[in-house]
Amino acid sequence: MMLAVSGVSKSFRGLKAVARASFEVGEGSIVGLIGPNGAGKTTMFNMVAGVYAPDEGTIAFQGHPIAGLRPDQVCAAGIGRTFQVVKPFAGLSVLDNVIVGALQRSKDVPSARRLAAGIVDKLGLGAKAGLPASALTLPDRKRLEVARALATRPRLLLLDEVMAGLRPTECDQMVEVFRELNRAEGLTILLIEHVMRAVMALAQRIVVLNYGQIIARGAPDEVVRNPAVLECYLGEEAEV
C-alpha cells in the first residue's frame, strides 16, 4: 500500500475540518479526492504533506508512519505536492524553480539542472525556462507547480486543484502528462480536483469528502451516480 490514512481527524479551534477519515491509495494507482468547498480536502492533503499533524489517527506511507513529520521530511520520504494557491519562487527563473526541487535527489547542481530541464520540457514550459516565474500566466504557474513537485522524484504525487483555470484542451494535455507518468514510471497520484472532466479521465478510484467525513468511495462511474454525492456536490454536473 502506497498511502494508508486511518481514522485521521483535525480540528481548527473547534471546527472539525476532517473527522475520522480513512482511505488508501494503492501503489501505482490514481485516486481522486472530491467534495464541495470546505469539505476538508486541502486539510487532508496538508496532513499527508506534513503541514499539520493530525489530532488523531495514523498516516502510513509505504508502511512507515509519517504523521507529524515536517514537510521537508515528507518530501524526502517520497511524497511531492503542489499548492492550490500556487507558490512559485517568483524572482527565480522557471528552470531555477525546478532545479530547487531537483536538488532533493541529485545533490550537485549540474545534474539537478539536467533533470530539471527534462521536466520543464515535459510540462511544456521549455520555451519559457529562462523567464522569471513571476512572468508566467496562471496556467503556466500551475504547470510549474507540477514540474517542481515532479523534480523531487516523488513516489506519490499530491495534486491540489492543478486543473483549475486551465482551458479544456490544456486540461487534457495535463491529464495526458499524468497518465504517461503513471504508466511509464508507476507514479502514484492522489488528486484533489473540481474539474470532473479531469477526475473522470484520470482517477481509477474516487473518495468523496463532505464536512470532513468520507461519504462515498469507489470507481468513478459508481461514485458519480451515488445519490449522496449528487446531493452534496455534483448536482447537475454529473452529466459531464
Partner 1 sequence: MNKRTATLLAILGVALAALPAFAGNYVLSVATLILYLAFAGQAWNVMMGFAGQLSLGHSLYVGVAAYVAGGLFFHYGIGPWAGLWLAMLACVLIGAAIGFLAFRFGISGVYFALLTIAFAEFTRIGFDHLGWTGGPGGMFLKVAQRDQIDLLNFRGPPAMYYYTMLVLAAGAFALCAWLLKSRAGYYWQAIRENEEAAQALGINTFRWKMIAVMISSAMTAVAGVFFAFYYNNLFPEQIFHISRSIEIILGPIIGGVGTLFGPILGAAVLTVLGDAITELLAVLGWEIPGVKQVFYGVVLLAVIMFVPNGIWPALARRLGLGK
218: Cα within 13 Å, side-chain hemisphere: 9
DSSP result, 158-225: EEES-STT--HHHHHHHHHHHHHHHHHH--EEEEE-S-HHHHHHH-SEEEEEETTEEEEEE-HHHHTT
With respect to partner 1, which residue has the nearer C-beta, 132 or 218?
A: 132
At 118 the three-state DSSP class reads helix
214, β-bridge pairs: 209
Q: Which is nearer to partner 1, 33 or 49 (CB)?
A: 49
From the CB of 87, what's the least distance to partner 1, in Å? 4
Name which of 113 and 179 has its Cβ closer to partner 1.
113
Determine the Cα–Cα distance for residues 240 and 234; give it in Å rounded to an integer.
10
- Residue 134 or 137: the one with the smaller Cβ distance to partner 1 is 134
**What whole-number distance in Å separates Cα of residue 201 and Cα of residue 238?**
14
Q: Which is nearer to partner 1, 66 or 208 (CB)?
A: 66
Q: Which amino acid is at 161?
A: E
Distance in Å, CB of 189 to partner 1, minimum: 16
Among residues 45, 94, 82, 101, the alpha carbon closest in space to that of 177 is found at: 82
The CB-of-154 to partner 1 minimum distance in angstroms stands at 10
Return residues touching partner 1 (CB under 8 A): 49, 51, 70-72, 75-76, 81, 83, 87-92, 96, 99-101, 103-104, 107-109, 112, 148-149, 151-152
CA 199 to CA 98: how far, in whole Å?
26
* Cβ-based nearer residue to partner 1, 86 or 215: 86
Minimum separation from the CB atom of position 74 to partner 1 (A): 8
In eight-state DSSP terms, residue 142 is H
What minimum distance in Å lies between the beta carbon of 180 and partner 1? 22
Whole-number minimum distance, CB 207 to partner 1, in Å?
Answer: 22
Give 100 or 131: the residue with its C-beta nearer to partner 1. 100
Given CA atoms 32, 33, 36, 41 in this order, what sign does their dihedral have?
negative
**Which triple of cell numbers denotes residue 46?**
496538508
Smallest separation (angstroms) from partner 1 to the CB of 95: 11
